Structure 1
């Protein structure tokens, strides 16, 4: 028999489930968070839950917000269980289960008036975001795209914005007009210089509306950069069933994740912040070294193994790491081409970090899927792979392995695996990508014509040659034999 998760049923949960040592009544709102997905609930919300369990900073409760249909679905499900979440932390050696309760409310997605009013509330001192790498309207060079129809629409109707950035800007304007100090905007997405990217988006939108407001945003609002890390798969019926059968909890949207978590933040919070250093957050003056290390080695590593594994019909990430060709490919690529263009990180051995990442990928308990890693390549390749390519091209170094990563991606976007199994659309730009991939089967350079993705690399003769050869090879002999040749230095 299962117990429906709610504040009232907490005491009835099994003793094996860790429970909050505070109640919803103990908390008041201090943070509005856009994008209440699995990663947020496994990361930022868990750190705050840890802090609240210490009896500290109960005025930093989270209010959820969003603009998508998925946000409305999350609000409905979490609302039925008093905004509680079951977090299942898994390692090969054991599993820990906890219920977290740092969220105090969830604003109605699409209700711009209510969201702006909450943002204008002086009690809100931080606005945070996890809206995925593709949510920032960036071009291949990482610049904010002011001409995107969503942004143009918000600029034309700033009182009733539809985007996250329009809502945040409206909230900031309301505070400025009322003489209330601005909140800090804290990005929690995997983007290089994520605070700066977020500032460029909000100030870039403001440029289209009011030059004085844009100047005020740039001079008066804090946007600390941060590095976030915790492998967190998507939730399916599999996870819901496991939580019900193994722990007796009926949770509409439980979160499974690894035990490891890391958060490095620039300490730039003029409106105040919770004392998160008490629960393991590292505060630094400049997060860039940690950020670059993680994005290129972990996120780049995910992109590297995803597409050959998909072409080889592998379902789970740990199964991919059990395959000797994929494990060897990841190790060689990271050591030979990625780590050499990652700057030193304080108190960190990059090869030790590489080994840690490989161990985390191999965790058999997580249930992370290759399909999830393949998602949204059109946004992830320019952020996680191509910057390493550009650095190596500038140094005159080989890009054989990195070009192969993108060649595997192009082959994946053709839409069938090496065995002939169909690949379901897995990118917001899937139609465009598949069209280019079909042409690229016979003319690989055609794929590089997507300049918003490949940027300058797509016009560099050394990269064009490496990519062309890699994609032709993948088509000629398949993923397995291509990996073998790369590992043996015969590609």
Structure 2
């Protein structure tokens, strides 16, 4: 993005001198979400409150991230964030908070040295569920993962985030430095605790002498992150160039809504992020449950049901009255009873806002993105609600219908006769067990990594089998209408 100053007539540009920014945050996994969320918040902090020691050092560790790295290096870390509201207003803003960038596969020791620098006070992450290397069945850290096993023999050429962090903290300890806060910004429950558990497990097996120092010199606060950020499309790049005269190889699109809640548990003094709307709380659980069981569960519901019908985007499904009636009924009858209000949180307001967010026609969020890796999402977003409802002998009809629909979803063909890909780390298992359920309807529930022992719960399986039978002989639209009318 050369000639940044010439763009200020067309888009919002950073008003601060980027040469004056010092880096205190190293962020691993420079995803679209990070650029729409954390990097946006930090940009606001620097620009509006002159907090110049808040620069971000972006770090990518995977070979598949090379394109992102090349683009942002070419653009000096600058990129355009395009906020789209439901009325059609597009607000492009050039973000300048990423002031450094490293690529692990190109120079792993440079990344390790940067993470070890005493100026880095926070190491944040968006590495997605599979970056934590958890066993699919037990949920425990998978020490036998090939990337982890490789690091045992070649620790200075790490492949995982844990390998990089281990070597960086070894250097900090060796040099008499302190540790820092490790801040997971991934969309998983108890993300900080999950990161700590995986990291400490890794260290206990590979560098056990480092573990006591880590326990004294690191903190892992849980967080709740929230902003719908779809995949960037070519038409976004073209429109940015045509309408705003900005040539950006990889802009990011997002909705206006943004929220970030963090447990107040930092190794050193917490940053001044509350100045830009970040909430620091004692207990993250009510916030994360609200988000995971409403927004993320809602996305999964619309994704599965909408794909079966032939819809391609979230807003198509959300603007279908029958689908949204099913979703709002699911939220009211089965999700809401499991949620607990906390100070400064309004579940009712969030629910109302949520539906309008789903209906935003300008976000254009694809259902294929929503449905990808459903085997990791559904246990967190939906089965957690089921567990609570079962324990309290409450309504589970919607959830039983959703799981039955997910089984049918894995047939890979919609009601218009079009096929779609099942994008999942266990796609072969999902497809095979869904096919076997045609002869033995409970087979799909035997996927232990997803359902644990749910197939033995008669109260659930009776409802599940009833809905699966109906779905196998009716289109999803017809099935939803029948369900909404209490006719199944």
TM-score normalised according to structure 1 size: 0.95
Q: CA deviation at 1:280?
A: 0.7
Q: In the alignment, what sits opposite 2:392?
A: 395
Q: CA deviation at 1:14?
A: 5.0
Aligned equivalent of 2:113, options 111, 117, 121: 117
Question: CA contact under 8 A between 2:333 and 2:395: conserved in structure 1?
Answer: no
Greater Cα offset, 370-379 or 392-401: 392-401
Distance 2:22 2:455 in 1: 51
Question: CA contact under 8 A between 1:296 and 1:388: conserved in structure 2?
Answer: yes
Structure 1 outlier segments of 4+, above 6 Å = none
Q: In the alignment, what sits opposite 1:228?
A: 225
Aligned equivalent of 1:350, options 347, 350, 366: 347
Distance 1:466 1:214 in 2: 48
Structure 1 residue ranges without an equivalent (≥5): 1-5
Query: CA 1:83–1:128 in 2, change beyond 3 Å: closer, same or farther?
Result: same
Q: In the alignment, what sits opposite 1:308?
A: 305
Q: CA deviation at 1:433?
A: 1.8
Q: In the alignment, what sits opposite 2:413?
A: 416
Query: CA 1:395–1:55 in 2, change beyond 3 Å: closer, same or farther?
Result: closer
Q: CA deviation at 1:430?
A: 1.9
Q: In the alignment, what sits opposite 1:12?
A: 6
Query: CA 1:168–1:432 in 2, change beyond 3 Å: closer, same or farther?
Result: same
Matched, 1:128 2:124: yes
Query: CA 1:483–1:12 in 2, change beyond 3 Å: closer, same or farther?
Result: same
* 1:8-407 map, 5 Å: 8-93=2-87, 94-110=89-105, 111-138=107-134, 139-140=136-137, 142-407=139-404
Distance 1:348 1:458 in 2: 36
Distance 1:273 1:476 in 2: 56
Q: CA deviation at 1:392?
A: 1.2
Query: CA 1:68–1:220 in 2, change beyond 3 Å: closer, same or farther?
Result: same
Distance 1:101 1:444 in 2: 54
Question: CA contact under 8 A between 2:221 and 2:264: conserved in structure 1?
Answer: yes
Question: CA contact under 8 A between 2:84 and 2:362: conserved in structure 1?
Answer: yes
Query: CA 1:399–1:108 in 2, change beyond 3 Å: closer, same or farther?
Result: same
Q: CA deviation at 1:158?
A: 3.2
Q: CA deviation at 1:486?
A: 2.0
**Per the alignment, in what secondary structure is the counterpart of residue 120 of structure 2?**
coil
Q: CA deviation at 1:140?
A: 5.0
Greater Cα offset, 346-355 or 92-101: 346-355
Q: CA deviation at 1:386?
A: 1.1
Distance 1:444 1:157 in 2: 47
> How many corresponding residue pairs?
485
Q: CA deviation at 1:67?
A: 2.0
Q: CA deviation at 1:194?
A: 0.8
**Per the alignment, in what secondary structure is the counterpart of residue 453 of structure 2?**
helix
Distance 2:73 2:384 in 1: 41
1:227-259 Cα offsets, whole Å, 9 max, x none, are 110000011212211211221111111111001
Distance 2:235 2:327 in 1: 28
Query: CA 1:114–1:277 in 2, change beyond 3 Å: closer, same or farther?
Result: same
Distance 2:141 2:392 in 1: 27
Q: CA deviation at 1:156?
A: 4.5
Question: CA contact under 8 A between 2:10 and 2:245: conserved in structure 1?
Answer: no
Q: CA deviation at 1:346?
A: 2.2
Q: In the alignment, what sits opposite 1:3?
A: none
1:124-156 Cα offsets, whole Å, 9 max, x none, are 111111112332223456433333333333345
Q: CA deviation at 1:89?
A: 0.7
Q: CA deviation at 1:273?
A: 4.3
1:452-476 Cα offsets, whole Å, 9 max, x none, are 1112334322222232322222211
1:11-41 Cα offsets, whole Å, 9 max, x none, are 1115241110113212122111111011000
Distance 1:113 1:467 in 2: 52
Q: CA deviation at 1:52?
A: 0.8
Greater Cα offset, 371-380 or 210-219: 210-219
**Per the alignment, in what secondary structure is the counterpart of residue 319 of structure 1?**
helix
